[in-house]
Structure 1
Amino acid sequence: MLDLLGLKPITVACDMEGPLPEALADALLAGPVAFVLQPTAQIPFGFTFGKARLEALAEVLVNAPDVKFVEDDWIGPIGSFSPSSQGAASSFD
């Protein structure tokens, strides 16, 4: 899909809790147009990012208002656990 849009992915270093906020801040210096995150049941490893990490990433993204945030939370609405995604959380209300 990125190729069809003429976009080039920029990697963001991660640990077992998800993307590192400082690595995201560094990647934003390259001028990306979007940040794509898969917060729950991340493929291929199945990790789910915690609320604290997502909040830290949000703090970085708030300083990049031109960068679109795309959350690919494919399992959130049907998961049996408390979601870390804001989109999925609204379906539990």
Structure 2
Amino acid sequence: MIAFLWGGAVGGLNTLAVIEAGARVDEMRMSAAMTAIAFCYTLGGFAGPAAAGLATEMLSMHGLPMVAGAAALVVLAVWAVRRGAES
């Protein structure tokens, strides 16, 4: 159930990324920004399930929670680095 809710919450991140890019990026770089967003979203959609499947194969029932935890740690690390760079 948690994975279902998490998946629903993550679904809106692409829309939020496009909105933020539209607000922060000038017109000359907008195409590159949208391409980068689409690339990252597609890469995550491909690599996430592959990593979760591999981890589940290797670690049985502990694989999916470990991949989810690792993904959360990566997001928190990026957020902390970006937050430190802004101050």
What is the TM-score when the length of structure 2 is the normalising length? Answer: 0.24
Kindly indicate which of the two structures has a greater share of residues assigned to strand: 1
Higher RCO (CA-CA < 8 Å; seq separation 6+):
1
- TM value normalised by structure 1: 0.23
